[in-house]
């Protein structure tokens, strides 16, 4: 068992250091019984002041036998604790509490009497709490806390050197050396050490670089907050730092290295690997669990949920309530995805808290996989949190490729996102796209990563209503009336031209603007189209959010879908994006809700799987004839629909299972491919 092994390792290292430190006290005449103080000091520590207020230090000075008693306890108190552990394999909480309390009091007394400087000894106190528990989770929790504290010791020192501007003082190290070694320089100026220090003092530039080096080493410990991958390197740096401190400052700070044990033990990693391999921890730990995170693009979830249910033991989704209500139109999500647990979050729930909730759940429930179906806010928080779950396989549905590689510095948010993106790219190596062209485009930018095409939903013939030949002829333009994304001017222009030239016997047309048109721009378009209203042309509009049930119903009624996309658009942060290449429109999701053809601008890269359904147009005149044939020839319409249905036959979850398994880093049997998700995919089995 790793727990037993880790406990033994910790116990051994702890008490080696413990007895090492207090034997060094003995050899350096620093035990209380050797020192036998005659007065106590005020070090301006509130706990120390409280201890002084109890009268204990004063009493001890008056009763020197107490110094002997304290030293005897210092050496003997760990013994019952150790004996019990060796005999019973467990710690006694009462012995543990007594030991921790006594250790704290002894250290405080040592500081009160001879100023032992408590800094390196805090970890001895904190790690002693490990002897209070026999619970594995608490043991590792405390170990993690002690590890963070050890990291904190170093990087907080770096932070203060910067915050107090000491690092910007060119004379800093020279002056520090002078004060630190004044006695040596005065008493023993001819010694080798004194000459070296004097040289450094007289060469402030060189000594400043030493100071800068120390700061760099200290600052590097911050990386430990985000990943355990470099813990052994950090441990080596800690040893290097302590060695350099001894040489340069003559400070024997080795006692702090006890904290190195927290970097050496890697409990979480070991456990997770065992769990993934389905090792010795029983069925529960061998489970494959995926958590999906979604905020706004709920229409993209169905395929991921279908595939997740097919390949995972447990599926959990965190999403906004609005998304939950609209995830699959007429069906109840709980019935459709019966293995999935949904966690709807109120729509007004702050995004940051939502994120923290997700990560907390993720860690607590030991998920093996984490898929981000959307990533649009709090990128830095995301990236940092992802480094705290180094053994969870993370994948991402990327909606805007160029934006993902762009850096901006116009605002604080831009800056944080620019910092976050490289971190995300380093951490996330598995990507999902809605179009094959996006996969290729992305792979050119990030060749080491794995990218797959999976549609947003699979095609289900039973969900697409059969169209009767009754009029009117329904043309649906899905999506909100956003001038940045779609060219509604062209739509209005086309129908203006069509209505003025249509023969009286032409079929009735209903144009459905299937998205929120409740904007000033939308109102203008609405007004223009409504003016065209006649017995043979009518327009339907919606204001506000269109519920998914209605959305799917109206799309199902479509004889023709029109997507007047502006192919070259700006991303949410104003990076140039190209529909069909670096970003996907909602059209790819909408198409699979109908078997109607779709009209798209000719400069849109036609995705091969949708080729049968897409009718590219360069100008309105160009496809006028085809349009007339489409509305007036039912047989032609039927033939087109049949062709589309046939081509959509490949949009099944079975067909996309290999892509999904690749996205999840699983082999064809759905098992872990021995892939370390933190490593670049180029290292993996292709």
Q: Where in 169-208 is the site for other proteins (CB under 8 A)?
A: 169, 171-172, 174-176, 178-179, 182-189, 191, 201-202
Q: How far apart are CA 424 and CA 619, in angstroms?
A: 41
Shortest Cβ 66–other proteins spacing (Å) = 15
Provide CB contacts within 8 A for 359, sequence distance 6+.
385, 388, 389
How far is the first Cα of the chain from the last one, in angstroms, to the nearest whole number?
33
Using CB under 8 A, pick the residue from 8, 12, 55, 650 that binds other proteins: 55
* Sites for other proteins among residues 215-234 (CB under 8 A): 218
Q: How many residues bind other proteins (CB under 8 A)?
A: 80
Q: Among 88-96, 158-166, 257-265, 625-633, which window interacts with other proteins (CB under 8 A)?
A: 158-166
Tell me how far apart the alpha carbons of residues 19 and 486 are, in angstroms, rounded to a whole number: 74
Q: Contact with other proteins (CB under 8 A): which of 66, 134, 156, 377?
A: 156
Candidate residues 4, 63, 72, 160; the one interacting with other proteins per rule CB under 8 A: 160
Residues in 99-138 that interact with other proteins by CB under 8 A: 104, 107-108, 114-115, 118-119, 122, 125-126, 137-138
Q: Which of 82, 98, 166, 657 binds other proteins (CB under 8 A)?
A: 166
Q: Are 258 and 123 in contact (CB under 8 A)?
A: yes
Q: Quick one: DSSP state of residue 115? A: -
Task: Examine residue 20 and tell whether it contacts other proteins (CB under 8 A).
Answer: no
* Min CB(332)–other proteins separation in Å: 35
How many beta carbons lie within 10 A of that of residue 118, not counting itself?
Answer: 18
Among 1, 16, 49, 638, the residue binding other proteins under the rule CB under 8 A is: 49
33 binds other proteins (CB under 8 A): no
Note the Cα 40 to chain centre separation in Å: 51
Minimum separation from the CB atom of position 106 to other proteins (A)? 12
CA dist., res. 652 & res. 624, Å (int): 34
Nearer to other proteins by Cβ, of 58 and 629: the residue is 58
CA distances from 254 to 20, 74, 75 (A): 11, 20, 20
Q: Which residue has the tokens 């609405």?
A: 526
DSSP string covering 448-504: TSEEEE--SS---GGGSPPPPS-S-EEEEEES---TTTB-HHHHHHHHHHHHHH--T
* Residue 367 is a binding residue for other proteins (CB under 8 A): no
The residues, any chain, with a CB within 8 Å of residue 400's CB and separated by 6 or more, are 571, 572, 575, 577, 582, 583
Give strand ranges (E) for 330-412. Answer: 340-345, 369-372, 393-397
Q: Would you count residue 622 as binding other proteins (CB under 8 A)? A: no
d(CA 130, CA 661) in angstroms, rounded, equals: 41
Rule CB under 8 A: say whether 633 interacts with other proteins.
Answer: no
Q: Which of residues 398-437 bind other proteins (CB under 8 A)?
A: none
Nearer to other proteins, 30 or 413 (CB): 30
- Check binding of 282 to other proteins (CB under 8 A): no
Q: Per CB under 8 A, which region of 47-55, 485-493, 585-593, 648-656 contacts other proteins?
A: 47-55
The smaller minimum CB distance to other proteins, of residues 137 and 469, is found at 137
474 binds other proteins (CB under 8 A): no
Residue 581 in tokens: 């290449």
558: exposed, middle or buried (C-beta count within 10 Å: 0-12, 13-18, 19+)? buried
Nearer to other proteins, 44 or 501 (CB): 44
Q: How far is the CB of 91 from other proteins (least distance, A)?
A: 16
Taking the complex as a whole, the smallest distance from the CB of residue 28 to other proteins amounts, in Å, to 4
Under the binding rule (CB under 8 A), the answer on residue 60 touching other proteins is: no
């Amino acid at each position: 068992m790793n727990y037993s092994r880790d406990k033994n390792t910790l116990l051994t290292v702890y008490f080696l250091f413990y007895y090492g430190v207090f034997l060094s006290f003995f050899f350096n005449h620093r035990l209380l019984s050797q020192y036998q103080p005659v007065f106590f000091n005020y070090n301006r520590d509130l706990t120390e002041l409280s201890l002084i207020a109890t009268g204990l230090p004063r009493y001890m000075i008056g009763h020197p036998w107490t110094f002997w008693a304290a030293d005897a306890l210092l050496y003997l108190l760990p013994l019952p604790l150790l004996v019990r552990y060796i005999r019973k394999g467990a710690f006694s909480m009462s012995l543990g509490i007594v030991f921790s309390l006594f250790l704290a009091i002894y250290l405080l007394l040592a500081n009160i009497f001879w100023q032992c400087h408590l800094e390196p000894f805090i970890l001895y106190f904190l790690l002693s709490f490990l002897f209070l528990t026999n619970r594995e989770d608490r043991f590792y929790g405390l170990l993690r806390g002690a590890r963070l504290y050890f990291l904190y010791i170093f990087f907080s020192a770096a932070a203060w050197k910067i915050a107090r501007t000491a690092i910007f003082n060119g004379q800093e190290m020279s002056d520090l050396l002078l004060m630190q070694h004044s006695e040596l320089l005065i008493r023993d100026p001819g010694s080798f050490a004194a000459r070296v220090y004097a040289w450094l003092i007289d060469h402030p530039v060189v000594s400043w670089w030493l100071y800068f080096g120390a700061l760099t080493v200290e600052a590097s410990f911050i990386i430990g907050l985000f990943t355990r991958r470099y813990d052994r390197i950090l441990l080596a740096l800690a040893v290097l730092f302590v060695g350099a401190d001894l040489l340069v400052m003559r400070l024997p700070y080795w006692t702090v290295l006890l904290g190195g044990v927290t970097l050496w033990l890697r409990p979480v990693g070991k456990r997770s690997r065992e769990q993934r391999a389905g090792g010795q921890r029983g069925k529960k730990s061998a489970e494959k669990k995926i958590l999906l995170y979604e905020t706004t693009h709920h229409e993209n979830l169905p395929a991921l949920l279908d595939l997740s249910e097919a390949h995972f033991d447990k599926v959990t989704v965190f999403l906004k309530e609005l998304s939950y209500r609209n995830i699959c139109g007429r069906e109840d999500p709980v019935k459709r995805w019966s293995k999935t647990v949904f966690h709807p979050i109120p729509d007004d729930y702050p995004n940051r808290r939502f994120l923290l909730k997700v990560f907390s759940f993720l860690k607590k429930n030991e998920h093996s996989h984490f898929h981000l179906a959307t990533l649009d806010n709090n990128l830095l928080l995301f990236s940092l949190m992802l480094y705290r779950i180094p053994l969870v396989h993370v994948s991402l549905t990327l909606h805007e490729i160029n934006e993902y590689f762009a850096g901006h510095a116009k605002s604080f948010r831009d800056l944080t996102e620019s910092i976050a993106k490289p971190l995300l790219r380093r951490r996330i190596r598995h990507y999902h796209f809605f179009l094959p062209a996006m996969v290729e485009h992305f792979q050119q930018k990030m060749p080491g990563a794995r990218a797959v095409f999976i549609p947003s939903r699979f095609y289900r013939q039973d969900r697409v209503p059969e169209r009767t030949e009754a009029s009117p002829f329904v043309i649906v333009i899905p999506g909100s009336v956003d001038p940045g994304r779609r060219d509604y001017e062209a739509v209005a222009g086309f129908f203006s031209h069509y209505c003025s030239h249509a023969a009286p016997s032409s079929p009735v047309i209903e144009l459905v603007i299937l998205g929120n048109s409740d904007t000033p721009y939308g109102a203008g378009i609405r007004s223009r189209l409504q003016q065209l209203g006649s017995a043979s042309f009518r327009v339907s509009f919606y204001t506000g959010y269109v519920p998914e049930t209605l959305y799917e119903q109206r799309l199902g009624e479509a004889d023709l879908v029109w997507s007047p996309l502006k192919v070259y658009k700006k991303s949410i942060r104003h990076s140039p994006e190209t529909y069909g290449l670096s970003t996907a429109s909602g059209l790819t999701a909408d198409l699979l809700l109908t078997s109607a053809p779709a009209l798209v601008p000719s400069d849109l890269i036609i995705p091969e799987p949708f080729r049968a359904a897409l009718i590219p147009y360069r100008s309105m005149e160009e496809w006028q004839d085809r349009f007339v044939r489409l509305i007036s020839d039912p047989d032609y319409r039927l033939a087109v629909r049949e062709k589309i249905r046939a081509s959509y036959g490949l949009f099944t979850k079975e067909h996309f299972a290999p892509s999904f398994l690749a996205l999840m880093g699983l082999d064809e049997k759905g098992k872990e491919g021995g892939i370390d998700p933190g490593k670049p995919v180029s290292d993996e089995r292709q």
